[in-house]
């Protein structure tokens, strides 16, 4: 471990995490003198680069919980997320890293790599090299995205309806879509009793409010019978 004295009384250690200028992310310190330093930027498991920077533009980096980190293990990398940390008296940090399948380990920042906040590398090359997260995490994400995509299909492109607290019924969605597609939205909902006229009206209002530059909260007309107004407002509150 090589220690490099720096300006302002700071002490930087070869391999410690350093914050890149303009909040571009985190790199690893390779060397430093009184005015400049060399930092390694870990773009992906396939590519790293060394950049020469003014020492005054580089800061000390600390990783927040859930930051994704890479740990080199022979000829491949293990991918985990920061769970906790321990700061040593010498200024170095050990991070508690959680890996897939419930494994975790305390690892020095000198052995950790963090990608910057720039655009990712070609995902196809990273997948081919085995740099993606495990099947364990993929399966759990897939279990969540599948029902979400089904909901979006059920709303026929009207994404604001996904957040409504109702069970989507095809004829109601079709009526809402027809109303919203018409530039002159003056419709009388006259379905049979129990087919969901109140829900259809509420969905039209919700879609309008959730759209960019949406309209104010719709109001019940003052001419409507009071029992009808009370029922309509109660239904909207219960299902919104």
What is the C-alpha to C-alpha distance for residues 232 and 220, in angstroms, rounded to an integer?
8
Start-end of H helices in the chain: 123-128, 135-154, 170-181, 197-210, 226-239
CA 29 to each of CA 1, 32, 52: distance values in angstroms, whole numbers, following the listed order: 12, 8, 10
The string of DSSP codes covering 76-109 is EEEEEEEEEEEE-TTS-EEEEEEPGGG-EEEEEG
Long-range contacts of 81-86 (CB under 8 A, 24+ apart): none
pLDDT digits (tens, 9 = 90+) for 77-108: 888 999 999 998 888 899 999 988 788 899 99
Q: What's the alpha-carbon Rg for the chain, to the nearest Å?
A: 28
Cβ burial, residue 151 (10 Å; 0-12/13-18/19+) = middle
Ranges of residues in the chain with a pLDDT under 70 are 1-11, 119-121, 128-137, 155-157, 159-160, 162-165, 210-224, 235-236, 238-240
What is the C-alpha to C-alpha distance for residues 226 and 33, in angstroms, rounded to an integer?
80
- The tokens for 77 are 């990398």
Residue 136: predicted pLDDT: 63
Residue 217: predicted pLDDT: 55
pTM of the model: 0.53
Residue 120: predicted pLDDT: 65
pLDDT digits (tens, 9 = 90+) for 117-135: 876 667 777 776 666 666 6
Query: Would residue 177 be called left, alpha or beta, if left means φ above 0 and alpha means ψ between -120 and 50 degrees?
Result: alpha
Residue 144: predicted pLDDT: 82
List all residues 6 or more positions away from 60 whose beta carbon is below 8 Å from its beta carbon: 10, 16, 17, 18, 19
Residue 108: predicted pLDDT: 93
The partner residues of 113 in beta bridges, in order of sequence, read 70
């Amino acid at each position: 471990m090589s220690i490099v004295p720096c300006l302002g009384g700071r002490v930087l250690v070869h391999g410690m995490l350093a914050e890149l200028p303009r909040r571009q992310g985190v790199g690893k310190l390779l060397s430093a003198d009184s005015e400049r330093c060399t930092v390694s930027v870990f773009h992906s498991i396939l590519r790293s680069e060394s950049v020469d920077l003014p020492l005054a533009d580089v800061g000390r980096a600390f990783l927040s919980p859930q930051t994704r980190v890479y740990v080199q293990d022979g000829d491949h990398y293990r991918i985990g997320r920061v769970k906790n940390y321990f700061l040593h008296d010498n200024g170095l940090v050990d991070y508690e890293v959680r890996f897939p399948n419930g494994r975790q380990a305390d690892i020095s920042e000198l052995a950790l790599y963090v990608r910057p906040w720039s655009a990712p590398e070609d995902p196809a090359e990273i997948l081919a090299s085995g740099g993606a997260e495990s099947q364990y995490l993929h399966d759990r994400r897939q279990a969540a995205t599948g029902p979400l995509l089904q909901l979006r299909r059920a709303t026929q492109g009207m994404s604001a309806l996904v957040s409504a607290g109702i069970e989507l019924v095809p004829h109601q969605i079709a009526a809402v879509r027809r109303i919203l597609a018409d530039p002159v939205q003056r419709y009388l909902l006259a379905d049979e009793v129990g087919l969901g006229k109140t829900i259809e009206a509420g969905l039209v209002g919700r879609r309008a409010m959730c759209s960019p530059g949406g309209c104010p909260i719709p109001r019940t007309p003052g001419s409507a019978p009071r029992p009808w107004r009370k029922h309509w407002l109660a239904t909207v509150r219960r299902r919104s």
